[in-house]
Structure formats: C-alpha cells, structure tokens
Structure 1
Amino acid sequence: MGVPDAMRAVRITQHGGPEVLEDTEVAVPAPQAGEVLVRVGAVALNNTDLWTREGAYGRPDDPKALSGWRGPIDFPRIQGADVAGRVAAVGTGVTGSLVGRRVVVDPAIYDATGPDAHPVGLMGSERDGGYAQYVTAPVERVHDVTESPLTDDQLATLPTAYGTALGMIERGRLRTGETALVSGASGGVGLALVQIARARGARVLAVSSGSKIDGVRAAGAHDVIDRAEDIPAQVRSAAPEGIDVVLDVVAGELVGEGLPLLREGGRWVIAGALGGYDVTFDVRRLYLHNTQVIGSSMHTPEHFGILMDLARRAEVQPVVAATFPLDRAAAAQRELSRREHVGKIVMHP
C-alpha cells in the first residue's frame, strides 16, 4: 500500500495545559538519507509528554524557565516518544528489505555514535514524534522486532519507560541476590523497574499505595511498601540488612529520609522528580558509607539493544492500562496526569 501525502497528527504550538494539544492534518514527512518512515501502530504516553507540553524541565541557568526536555522547543512540535509500527518507506542509503518489518524506535538523540553515548534529545521534544500516523527516524534507531510475541501496544510501552528503567539498573550495577527498592512503582518506569529487577534475580521492594498495590505485587515485587505509611520504618522492617540499590523516580523528601537505608557501598539512582526536585540530605551518610547518588537519564544505545533482546524473547510483559484514539490525546494526557492507573497508556493513530 502506498504512502499518502497527508496524515493526522497531534502537536503543540506553545507550552500549556492539555488544551494546547492540536489535532490537525499535516504532510507526511519524507524520510531523508539514512532514515526510514514508520507507520505508527501504537504510541505510548509518558510523563515526558506532560512535562514537555508544560515546559516544566527548566534550564541549568534558570530552573523555573519554560523549556523542553533539553532546551527550547522548536514549535510546532508533534509529541510522542514511544513508537511501535511498521516501516512504510526508506530514504536513500537504506535497504528496502526493511519495508513491512515491525519495528520499535529508539527515541533518543545521542551526543555520539558509540554504544555508551548519552541522550541529549528526544523524539517528541527535539524532533517530531509519534502522535501521528507516520514518523521518521534514523535507521540505526529502528529495531526489528517482527518476531516478538508482544503486541504493538506492549512494544510501544518499552522505549522510554523500560529504556529508562534498564538505564537505571545498569548504571546502579544491580546484581543477582541484591535488594532493590523501587519508588513510584505503579507508574510506567516503576513497573518496568520491578519487572526487570525481578528478572535480574534481585529481591524487589516496591513503594506504592491503595488499589495499586496488588498490581505492583503481580508485576513481581516481593514486598510492597505502603506510601501512605512511614516508608523508612517499613523498609527497615522488610530489609533489616539494608538496601543495595534504590531505583527512584520520585526524589523529593524520600532522598533525605531514605539515604540512611542504604548498605555500605549502596547506590541511589534517580531518574525523575515526581516528589520534587529540590532535595536535601545529610552528606555524612554519603561519604562515611561509600554510597553513591547517581543521575540516570534514559538509556544508552547498548542499553536499548539489551531491551530489544528482552522484547524479542518476551522476557518482560508490559502492562497496558488503557488505550485511546489519537484524536483524544488531551483526554489521554489528563488520564496520565491523574496517576490512578497501573501500567502504561497507549494511543492508536
């Protein structure tokens, strides 16, 4: 089937609330040299979508400045980092055998070409993303998962949430037999952390609350810490020997309260600030115990390759909480911001 000239897309032309999401018709992008055109089968939502739309990332010189993921947004911008679909066309220099293959797109824009490159941009923020019927991507960022038993919806949940989770686990050097504490465990990244840490052979303690606790336990948590109660006291009771690695997407007060829970040589990995970015802790707990606080932003190309191998073998089973059509993107983002779900929200262009 040929590629049409026009497509539906949801984009933002300014920062603001869900009302700035614009459902419109735009030209189908043409793949440039070294790129492929992907027909989007499913696109998953992330907190990154909300923060980019709101301009909530700040800048190093001005934490309160309106900014996209890594700087000013070049409006208009089609949102959406997480894409699963099929290759519809290729640009010059790309083999035509990719056409028709089912793929997942690595949404990161890297600072170098090597396996340990750092992400410095993101599809849906620094380039157009998957809130659309078609999206382009560099061929080296497109991973063939045709043989995976996972659905398009499940595959679409992987790039940002599971990529971020795998990056945290790799940078935190989590090993078999260690004890991990996962904050925000019912969210997309949190649930991915629980699943991957469990698959690694770690003992997993997860922080959640209310009706979400059963879903977090079903994802593989050995013990669930109730966020509504005294978290440090519960952790000390569940893991009296201490925690080896904290995998934290919440930050805020949890860092200062929780740092004494680390064992000698423990690692606290932070990849989010849902609980607040202004953090205070007793630095003596850091240097006297040889512990580390590690920042982790998404994944490296090597990490993403490991994730795609897990997807091909279905060694993780992503949880899809809800699906929406593309023209209800604002409703989908509102649902995401309520944080009442367990798993990921997916849209169908």
Structure 2
Amino acid sequence: MSLRHDSFYDTYHGHEVDHLKIVHHELRRSHRSVIFLAGDSSLDNKYWLEERSPAVNGYERILSPAQMKQDICFWLNKAAVDRGMHHLCCLNTAIEATALSSRACGKLLEQDHFIRDHITEDDYLVVSIGGNDIALMPVLCTILNLLALSWCTPVECLKRCACACPVNSHTDLGCLDCGLLSCLLATPCGWPPGVGYFVDLFGHKVQNYVCKLVGERKPKKVIVCMIYYLDQVGRDSWADCALRGMGYDCCPWRLQAAISTIFTLATQKIQIPGTEVVGFPLFNVLDGRTSEDYVQRVEPSAQGGRKMASALMEVILTDDHLGSASCGESGSESAPHMMAMGC
C-alpha cells in the first residue's frame, strides 16, 4: 500500500496514526528492528523543512512520489543504509509542539500509544522531550524556577556545586496545579535554587513518560536525549521572547550551563528496568554556534538533523557507550550527585 508524500508530511503534530500503521506494517516486512522517535519537535522537525531527497530504506516502496523530507527520521534511515544495517529502519512517532505537560495525569497521546503497542524487544527508542515545557508552554512554577536558575545563579555555582535528590512522586498534574506539587517536593531538594525542580522535570517526569511507552515490551535500548543548545546568533524566531526572558540573547552560556548540569544530574541517572538506557547530550552535537543547524533558532534544520542522526546512530550501534545505565546497575556516583531513579 502506498501513501501520498504530501499527505504523509503535511501534518503539523507528528504523523497521522493511520499513516504510521501503514508505514510500520510495510517496514516490518523487510526490517527486523525499528528506531522509534518519541517526544517533541527536537525529533519531529519535518514541518520546518522544505529540503527533500529520494526515499530510502523501504520508504521508496511506500511513498508516492518516492521522496522524503530531510528530517531526522530520513537521516537515520539514510545512515542505516550507508552503514549496511539493512535490518534497521526508523519511524518518526514524535509529535511537534507537545510537552511533558501535554501528557500529564497519566495521559499518552495517540502516537505515544502507537509506540507502546508496536515496540518490540528488537527495537530502539529515542526520546527527546521537555524543551517545550520551558519555551512553549511553561507553567507558573516552571517560570519561577527558571528565572531563579537563569538570572540569579552564578555559572560557577552550577558547574561546581549543583546537586539534587528529589523524590519521584509519580504524579504530574501539569497545568492543573501550575507545577506547584513539583515545586513543593523538588525545589527544596536541590542546590542552587531551581536545580531540584528541573532535575525532577528532566529526570523523574521524563522517566515516568518513557516507562509508560515501554510498559508492555522493553526495547533493546532507550536513548534519552537532553536538548541541544539553541541558536545563540539568529533572531526573528517564534521563541525569541522566551529566549530573551531567559537571558539567552545576552548571556547564552548561563542557560547552556544549566542544560549541561541538568543532563548530569537528571538525564544520565534515568534507569528503566529491563532495558539499557543511554543518556545522550544533544548539546554536544548542536552547540548553538552555527545558525545553519537551526530553523527558528530552536528547531533542527536539515543540516542539524543530519548531525544529530549521525551521532544518534553511533549510540544506537554501540554496545558499551559512555553514559549508559542498565537495569540494576548501581553506578559509582556518590552524594550529593547521586539520584537513583527507576520506574
């Protein structure tokens, strides 16, 4: 069965689930393993792109005409072909303009349900989420903690003495409580002010989301990404107001230091029972200095997506990657940086 190229790519909030079912069914016929992308527009960047290439890795049998937008999914499929990994393909099940708060109160979106229902033990899951909880749809307590972290915290304090040990409440009320529960439980459990709140957001809440995606079947590997550094040079973006409010236009290194710190204290500590978890710093790939890597300062361009896909493929194909944490691994971290997390 074929799909019209334009109908497949013209949706804003991810791909339609009916289309995903068709593509997934056809890809499974010739591929043993699927890389599922989950999260937001940091992985679902198709809407922002016009560049196209001939379809590859099975998509040429599905799309009509046989072309793909040069989104991150395309570059991962091309990387699989270029490396001779003919058993491996990628399916974009991430959703533009969504956040962790979009999935509050135990909710999963349609594409999330699709992942949960179709992922297998031979597959891989790549997750990047949380950025829109800050830039696009922040709740009141997120804004307050962000102001404390981005304007009132010395960079050296973040680099040298940041710590956090919040408890995972497994409760996310999203906009219903404006983040108050997380603020009360997590903010006092971190230093400097604001760190505990964001360790809870990018650690516990991301982990709880992933656990819901893989509750039925555990994939071979889960790669949990920390957001890349945003374009520190360009302007005229929908996110300009938010970036200006965070001081990114004048002092980008402050937010960048916060991102790096939260990655160390939260993303790298995530553990999912029954599978290998790798915390991956996208900011090592897109460092904010090359505007051509971005669209609208915050979305990966075709060039940026190619760089991300190349780096992600290295992690996917590496058995013993720095930063991985398997179920039951105790780790060697010591207080105050230790924050063990499990589903």
Same fold by TM (over 0.5)? no
User: TM-score, normalization: structure 2?
Assistant: 0.28
Select the structure that is richer in strand: 1
Report which of the two has the higher share of helix.
2
